[in-house]
Amino acid sequence: MNRSMKAACWFLLLTACFWSPAVSHAYDEAAMQVEMEGNEAGVTFLEGKATLRPQDETHSVHLELNARLRNGDRVTTGPDARIELTFADKSIIRFDEDTTFELIDVSYSRESNKRYINIKMIMGRTWAKVSKIAGQKGGFDLHAVNAVAGVRGTTYRMNILEDSSTVVKVYSGEVTVQKPVKGPGRVEASPPAQGPHPVSGPGKISMEEWTYIVRAMQQIVVRPDGTAEKPVVFSVEADSNKWVRWNQERDAKSR
């Protein structure tokens, strides 16, 4: 075998090793273990293309793996793209293709055990796995135009549909879903066991201020006009799709 053939063989061997599942998995895990400051979120998974428009900037740039995001940053994922953000408190949130979101408030202090994370969902789909730390103060909120979903420690997802309605599905724990009373901002989390405010009559909840506790394996639909259906149980089989299965696999790896 001449020298050129040997070189080609070595190149093919090294390429195969680099792109093998084991190496890709190790690289992915290494990215997930990068430490974040309390006021930032790290991009710990990136598939496809996404753009970042930093606060006070008019132009967007390509988002890179291991990038650090801070308050005011806006991200848009392209077709067939997915990204994962990890926060300093080990909470994880993922965004599907054709999704736009903005980090409104990212703050976590180990010393005071306070967490304030507020994310504005403009369009698309997201999946959140929020860490639960004993005695933790603050909150983790996802804001849509017509609903706010706030949690302490749970797994849930939010979809913003084309007609601007919002769907929240909870897989573990509880999520407080309420009508926004003001724009996204820093809000203390509600006590975890208070339950919903009384609402008279079946069916939709009126345009008045409302709050509902959505429990594990329940979903709630908030319509574009701000009215909300009462939480109902959803079918695991009907809910299963590539996006859900991928997130469940990622969650299992991060335990």
User: What value does the mean pLDDT of the chain take?
Assistant: 81
- Per residue in 60-110, pLDDT (tens digit) is 999 999 999 999 999 999 999 999 999 998 999 999 999 999 999 999 888
- Per residue in 12-47, pLDDT (tens digit) is 444 444 344 433 343 354 444 556 677 899 999 999
Phi, psi (degrees; rounded to nearest 5) at 144: -115, 175
Domains and CATH numbers, the chain: 20-189+207-253 (2.60.120.1440)
Band the pLDDT of 151: cuts 50, 70, 90.
confident
Classify 132 in phi/psi space as left (phi over 0), alpha (psi -120 to 50) or beta: beta
Phi, psi (degrees; rounded to nearest 5) at 188: -70, 140
Q: Which pLDDT score is estimated for 97?
A: 98
| 166 burial via Cβ count (<10 Å: 0-12, 13-18, 19+) | buried
Angle at 231 between CA 226 and CA 233, to 5 degrees: 145
Identify whether the C-beta of residue 130 lies closer than 8 Å to the C-beta of residue 91.
Answer: yes
What is the mean predicted confidence (pLDDT) over 1-15?
47
Q: From the CB of residue 90, how many other CB atoms can be counted at a distance below 10 Å?
A: 15
Q: Which pLDDT score is estimated for 204?
A: 55
pTM score of the predicted model: 0.78
* CA distances, 14 to each of 3, 7, 22, 26, 165 (Å): 17, 11, 13, 16, 49
Angle at 173 between CA 192 and CA 243, to 5 degrees: 140
Band the pLDDT of 138: cuts 50, 70, 90.
confident
Q: Which pLDDT score is estimated for 95?
A: 99
Q: Which pLDDT score is estimated for 109?
A: 87
